[in-house]
Structures are given as C-alpha cells and as structure tokens.
Structure 1
C-alpha cells in the first residue's frame, strides 16, 4: 500500500557551497561598529544580538557598552579557536553544514516568496477599519446543502426566532427569543473572527440570510445580526496601520509560501510506502529513546547493526522503497543518508506522536532536497546575507568549543575561587571579602565560581588583543537604539526555529 504525503521531491543533487567567509570587506564603513582583527561587528548585528539576548544580566552602568565588550571578547576567543583549527572538528563542521542547509532553505523562501509580497494602501485601510468593527451574527446548521436551502427560504419568509424554534426539536420550556439566543454569537471584533468566516459575512446585508455555506465541513445559513463601528482618530489610524501592515504581510507570506511549495512539488506526485514506513517506525522510536543521534543516521545504522537489534532491523530494510516519485524511488538507505537529525527534530514522547512527526519529517526532507536544488540553480547560497549568517553561527560554535578548552586548563577548586574573592583585584566590596569558604551560602559560592570563570575568559580575551587589534566606534554605539519593555526592562525575548529548535539569531552567552 502507498500513503500519500503532502510534499514532493526530485532526485538528490550534490550542492557545492562556497566557504563561509562572510565577505566582511563588502560591509560599508558606516555600518561597522567594531573591528576585531579581520572580523567586524555591524551596528545591526549588535542591535539584534542585544535585543534577542540577555542584556539585563549585565551589571555595569552602561549595559550597551558592557554588552559590546563581551561580544568582542567572544569574537577574540573564536579567532583563537580558528588559529587552533577548531573549525575543522567534525562536530563544528556538521553543525555548520546543518545551519547552511537551514539558512539556504530560508533564502529560497525569501527569494521566491517574500520578495514578491505587495501590500497596497487600500488593503491596509481595510485591515485598520476591521479593527474598529465588531460583529454579531446568527447561524443555523444544516444536514446538507438541500436542507440549508430550505432553511434559507424559511428565513426569507419568517423571522429568525420562529425558524430557529421550528428547527430545534430538543428544547422545551424555552421562548423563541431564548432559542434564537442559542444560535447567536457574542459581539466579537472582526479581526478576531476566523478570516474564512469573515469572508462569508462581510458582504451580507443586516438580517439577510446567506446562501448555503459550507464552513469547516458543516453546512450553515448565516445572518449578520449587528454591526458596531468605533470611530478612529487620525492617531489611531496611523498607529494601527503599522500593525495592520505586519498582519497582512504575515498572512500573505503564509499563503504564498503554501502556494509556492504546492506549485513546486505537485508535478512529482510523491507517495510514501506505508508498509515500509510502518516497519521502520518502531525501531527508529527505540533508537531515539537512547538519545538523539548526531548528523545523518546511515553511518550509525550501518555500524551499529552488529550490537543493537533496532539498528539491525533498520539495516535489514535498507533496500526497501520508502518514497515513490514520478521520476524515481527513495530507498530506506537513501532517506537515512539524506535525513539530518539536527535539522528535523524527533522526540520519543509517545509512539503515536513520534509516528505522526516522522511522517511530517519525511515530507520535509523530501521537500527540502527540491528547494536546495532550486537554491543551487539561483546561486542563492552565495548571497552575502546567507554567508554572513552562517559565519556568525560558526563563530559562535568555535567560541564555545575554544572557551571550554580554555576553562579545562584552569586549576578550579574552592581554594582558587576563594583566592579570587579575597584578592586585591577582587570585584567584591570589603564586607564580602575576608571570610572562609564555609561562611558563604550556596548561592554566593555559585556566583563566585561563575564570576571567576568569566574573569578568566576576559583575561584570555585581553591577551588575544595583543594579536588581534580591536577598534570601537563609540560615537556610533551612542546612536544605536535598542528595544526594551517599558513594563519590565529586564524581560528578554527569544525566537526559535520551528523545525530545528535553534535560536533564530546567535546571541551572547548569558553566563560564561
């Protein structure tokens, strides 16, 4: 048997990517906030890092300046990592390759979808006006279209209350008005009503029954019962126009993305083989119960078949067809050679949820192969923005690995921490210094250890400044505005990628 899936594919093609140099020489001078050796930090990069990061953890008087110095320290340590060739580690290379695919897929949607979105002034005005309108409607469900047409004819000849009372046969001791109220919505802002339903209601005259409408697999007759319009001041209109444009943009982006994927994939008529799918899911679930594997699965399966039964079972069906297309078939082996576990999250919460998610993952893997080929044809992977984003993530991962190696070389015990607390260069006031280890509470000890490690990293970064020159445009820093909540300045916002669960933007590590 075959099971149809939503998204489609063409044969896997090799992608040749340029190295993620970041092309920093192409960045205009008036955008550069700081130089760290041959690397730069732009004003926009600082702004995004700050707004999506944890600046409230900075204790200095000038949070922006302290935050920038920490960003510079991370970049200095990362440059030391490049000198040690840490970027050649398999863990770093796998992470970068995963990020590269993810970012190039994003660029496909930027190029083919988002760049084509147009929003007219008329659309914005309509959306703003919707925010000032509340609607109340009545409805009667019908068993089928014929029944709905009969109800409509009755409503044209008699009142809603009377028709509703005739319609309801299981209500006793209720007046016609009480019955009608049962089929009357609350007064609701138009923007909060399902867009599909609004499209049916918006052209109806008051108290006039609609034509039969099939809405969410049910036939209905609708009537607009009440419309309330709130006057808008020029300030309201201007203020709501910004929000309305964002709503329209997001709505169109979702609609156009779905249309783009459908138009791209439909010609290939892709299906999954249900019997093969059902054979591999239990063993894959068992594999994931041991922990999420890194990279692609095929090497793990081929090597692990000698020791674990679930690997043997997956290996045994390696030649079985898993995905059919109009121009070829994907075997189980081919799928697992392509499936990157870092990009498509699978969690063994329950067998049922795992099965549903894996079905979606198959669709996404196959779809993304097609989109990566479209990116190759358009040379989207060579885009400056794509390469810059990949380089930022690579810098972050190289920093983290280098940081761990630096900290591993430290003599780190309670005596060392107390020497740090009580030294002449101690960052703590006199009333905190001069005690024995046992005099401090656990929370204080934790803070001392954290501060000691952070200071060790800052000291290392200072040493690297002797090799990599650092310059900062303080005048530009003073002009950079950053968003923060007026209700709670210490609140932070993080945005994550839906599939990989990775943060949307690499930010300064909150605690070193």
Structure 2
C-alpha cells in the first residue's frame, strides 16, 4: 500500500536536495525562482499574478469549506490535463474539487486533521510558506536593476552563438587533443570521433545566446568573448575534466518588431532579477549559517549514520560496511539502535539553539521519500548524509527566523495552509478507503481475464498473468477505489450542502473551451524548505471517472 506521503509526492523531482547548503544556497532561500510575484493578496508587498479580489470571491461552498476563485484558478492552472479536454473543463474541474472537499469534510469528522502524519506535514508546509514570505521581504525587496544593466543584457541576448567542444577527462587526453590540433588535425574530425551511442551531438554542442551562456556558465562566456569565429579556446578546466571550445556560428538578431523587443525586454528583466536574487540569497543563507557557527557532534552523527544506514542500505552492504561495529568502537557499547534512546542527543551545536537528533529525524522522515543517498562507498554515503544534516540546519534557521517575525500569521500563509490542510485530510481519508480494500488472488486473476487487452506487449501478444501480476493488482485497487469513491461522494452530497455560484464561475478569467491538445506538465516548486507542489491540485486518479 502507498503511504499518505507517497500519495502526495506528485512526481516531484528533488535532485538538488542532496547538494551542500553552500552550493545550493541560491535554491535554499530562492523558493519562488520560477514564479516571482506569485499569487499574493492580503499582507503581500509584491504585485500579484491573479486579478485583485480573487481571494474573496467564493465560487462554491461545500459544507463549511469555501472554494475561492483564487484557489480554483491556481489549482486549475497546475492541475492534470485530462480535465481540460472535457467538453466543459471548468465545470468538470470544479466537480472534482467539490468531491475532494466532501471527502475532506468526512475526514475532519473522523479526526484525521489531528493524525500525526497530517499534522507533521502541515507544520512543514506552514514553515515553507513562512520562509517564502521571508524571501520576499529580505531578498526580492532588495532587487534593483538599473537601465544601463538592462540595455547591456538585451544586447547580449540578441547575440546568438553555436558552440562545439572536445572533452578530455584527464591531462593525458588533453595533451593528446592539443598535440593533434597543433599538427593540423581538423577540429570537426576530432569532434566526430568523440560521438558514439552514449555521447550524442547534443552532449558536445550548444545553441544559445551570449546572455544565457553568461547565466548558465560565466566562465565559458568569458572565454567565448576572447574567441574569434572558428578559433579553438585554450583548455577550460572543470570538475569533470577539460574542455576545448570552438565558436561554429555567431550572429546578431538585428531586426525585431516592437512586440518582439518588448517580450525580449521582459524576459531579460526577469532573468536579471532572478540572477541578482540568487546572489543575494546566497549571501543571506551563508551569513545565517556563519553567524550560528554550526558544529556537528561526531558521536551523535555516528549514531545517525548507523540508524540511516540500517534503513536505506541493503542488509549485505550494511553488514559489509560494519557501521554498527565502527559505531561501537568509537562511541562505546550501545544496547540497540532504537531512535528513541538517542532522540535528545545534540546532533549540531548552534549559537542559539542546538539541533537534536530527534529534530533531524523528524525532518528526515517528512522528506524520506524524496531523499537519495550516495551509497557507492562508505565515504560517499557519510558525505551525502552530512549534506542532509547541513540542509536540515539551514531549514531550521530559516523557519525559526520566519516564525520569530510572525510571518506564519500573514493572511496569504494562513489561506494556503488551509488549502493544504483540506488536501491532506482528503488524502488521509482516501488512504483509509484504500486500506479497507481486500483483494484476493482469485479476484486479481478474474480482473486480468476481463481486461486481457490491457496486458499486451508491443507485438499485440497477451502477456501471461505471472509477468503482469503487480500491474494487475495495482489496476484492481485503482478500479475498486474509484467505485468506492463514487459511492462515498454520492452519500456525502446528501450529508453536506453544496452551493455553486454559477455567475462567479462563468466570470473567471479562464478559457472555458476544451483543449484537446492539453498535456501534463511536471511542475515543482524550486528550493524551499519542504518538497511539495506549488499549490494543491485535484488527483490524477479522478481520470477513472471519465
């Protein structure tokens, strides 16, 4: 069975979570990297993306829960695409939102709002929302782009570049390429020799603009500035090896319409603001950490690495690395690896308030589904675990500062927190229904026989049950859950009153016609202190109702 946490993962990718706090400092506080000026009303100091007043317009009331125009528009914007292909997509989406609110009401009645996992996740989300306000107050408010900088950046964005490069993993390979080039070997010939099944042309070339290159790789941009057309650069050292770069094409977009220039100006301005905000947030987080002078307690860290290792490593690797044995030799005999025995031990000493092992464990458990440790070797595992500890310290310091200022009490935070609470309670109710489903092997095989056409290979041949057992059982559970949800929603519609403001719904600034070309995008909120979608949306599982 999936857990509540897994059910809310929403396909988020958290590849940056394992970066060190200082390398990832820009992302650490830059929680609105892609959505600067996000939906904000109430106490906000920044311009909103949504029309004013959307937070007060109620388009539906489900029992004592309101669906405002603001909540609906954001949910619809980031929600699954299948609804947008419906004949009446806006009305259909609202139907599914109402279904989730009805189930949430029943979850509240059962006390699921006080469920430990729901409460923990809601606390994490509230902290993340509060740090977004901190980012706006302390970072975005300091961003200023002058006209000269903007004009220079626009000029750079109009310069288009096409680059190719040779890659040398070590100095021996580099010396070989330099010798061949000096002897007259054509660059393009050496370039073609580097391509194979695993190295495509896109891995050794790039089409970009001077401004975007400066944004993504400042060092390479400086080198390219010194190159004339067709010349090969001196070796550029990088962590993975050396690069020999050649400018294969360079041209300037000299003719632009007024509309194109206005769009270009806005795009460049956003990028400049983001660049400056990233630099400011780097310094902000580094200063925050430095002022607290955090020091990891070695003995407690050794306990932690044994605890985490026991949960994420294979039994064979855990035994081979002898983590428990090393721990006992360094820390003295331990009766067990029971977390509760060490919860109150200091993991990181800080100037104001220490981080206890139990604090980290709570932080880790709330994010466990998203964290991947490097288990190639004991040393790499320990290093990646230490990075997670620093990450948790950073999160604690940011959230503590935001709470000390009372930012969690801002109207925009309280509104979004309420949306998330309702979503979490609904998800907990749904999990309860899923856990109640009992599936026998006979039922699964009967389902398989009825749905044989779903289980075919690329040639059209039916796959044997033994090869698709897991998929069949998953489909059985999904279909049974859909039936149970249908029955539950119909009962709840008689239990709780539902009122829809049709006039407000029709007045929403949204395209009401179906979009047959709509497709799903994986949207993730960059940075922040807690991995989550930017806003709650309806579940993709409602597609089974279509």
Structure-2 residue corresponding to 1:254: 278
Scaled by the length of structure 1, the TM-score of the pair is 0.65
User: Which of 170, 181, 197 pairs up with 2:219?
Assistant: 197
* TM-superposition CA deviations, 1:52-74 (whole Å, max 9, x none): 22141577421111110110121
1:266-285 deviation per Cα after TM superposition (whole angstroms, max 9, x unaligned): 22222324565345313321
Residues 1:113 and 1:282: Cα distance change in structure 2 (over 3 Å): same
Q: Which residue in 1 is equivalent to 2:256?
A: 233
The residue number in structure 2 matching 1:143 is none
Distance 1:459 1:443 in 2: 31
- Distance in 2 (CA, whole Å) between partners of 1:322 and 1:463 is 53
What is the SS of the residue equivalent to 1:457? helix
1:108 to 119, 134, 158: 134
Question: Cα 1:101–1:310, aligned 2, differ >3 Å: closer, same or farther?
Answer: farther
Tell me the equivalent position of 1:174. 183
| CA–CA separation in structure 2 for the residues paired with 1:35 and 1:138 | 58
Distance across 2 between alignment mates of 1:338 and 1:438: 41
Alpha-carbon displacement from aligned partner over 1:449-486 (angstroms, at most 9, x marks no partner): 46533421331332134xx3412234543543259998
* Structure 2: segments with no counterpart, 5+ residues: 1-19, 24-40, 43-51, 166-175, 192-204, 316-333, 455-474
- 5+ residue gaps, structure 1, are 8-21, 140-166, 292-307, 417-435
The question of whether the paired residues in 1 share the 8 Å contact of 2:103 and 2:489 is answered with: no
Which of 108, 113, 117 is residue 91 of structure 1 equivalent to? Answer: 117
What residue number does 1:458 align with?
489
| Contact 1:113 1:256 survives alignment (8 Å) | yes
Equivalent of 1:495 in 491, 506, 524: 524
Q: Does 1:350 align with 2:393?
A: no
Q: Which residue of 1 aligns with 2:535?
A: 505
Matched, 1:69 2:98: no
Quote the Cα distance in structure 1 between the aligned partners of 2:250 and 2:269: 24
Normalising by structure 2, we get a TM-score of 0.61
Partner of 1:429: none
Contact 1:484 1:491 in 2 (8 A): no
**Cα pair 1:283 1:310 within 8 Å, conserved:** no
Alignment equivalent of 2:290, drawn from 241, 262, 266: 266
- Out of 120, 125, 143, the position equivalent to 1:117 is 143
The 5 A counterparts of 1:393-432 are 393-405=420-432
Give the drift of 1:261: 0.8
> Which position in structure 2 is the counterpart of 1:427?
none
Are 2:290 and 1:281 aligned?
Answer: no
Distance in structure 2 (CA, Å) of the matches to 1:174 and 1:262:
48
- The 1:168–1:68 alpha-carbon spacing in structure 2 relative to 1, beyond 3 Å, is closer
CA distance in 1, matches of 2:448, 2:361: 55
Q: Alignment partner of 2:520: what SS?
A: coil
Distance 1:450 1:197, change over 3 A: same
Give the corresponding residue for 2:82.
Answer: 56
Secondary structure at the aligned position of 1:389 is classed as helix
1:373 aligns with 2:390: no
Check 1:241–1:318 CA distance in 2 against 1; reply closer, same or farther (3 A cut).
Answer: same
Aligned runs of 1:282-361 on 2, under 5 Å? 282-289=306-313, 311-312=337-338, 322-326=347-351, 333=357, 335-336=359-360, 339-343=363-367, 345-347=370-372, 350=375, 352=377, 354-361=381-388
Larger radius of gyration: 1
Match of 1:15 in 2: none
Of 110, 120, 131, 2:157 maps to: 131
Please state whether the residue corresponding to 1:35 is helix, strand or coil. Answer: strand
Distance 2:179 2:147 in 1: 50
**Which secondary structure does the structure 2 equivalent of 1:49 belong to?**
helix
Distance 2:353 2:426 in 1: 43
Question: Which residue number in structure 2 is paired with residue 428 of structure 1?
Answer: none
Pairwise CA distance, 1:495? 1.9
- Alpha carbons 1:496, 1:504 under 8 Å: kept: yes
Shift of 1:493: 3.5
In 1, the alpha carbon distance for the partners of 2:209 and 2:256 equals 18
| Structure 1 pair 309–241 and aligned structure 2 pair: CA distance change class (3 A) | farther
**Alignment root-mean-square deviation, CA:** 5.1
Q: Secondary structure at the match of 1:247?
A: helix
Report if aligned partners of 2:156, 2:210 keep a CA contact under 8 Å in 1: yes
CA distance in structure 2 between the aligned counterparts of 1:375 and 1:27, rounded to whole angstroms: 26
SS of equivalent residue, structure 1 residue 61: coil
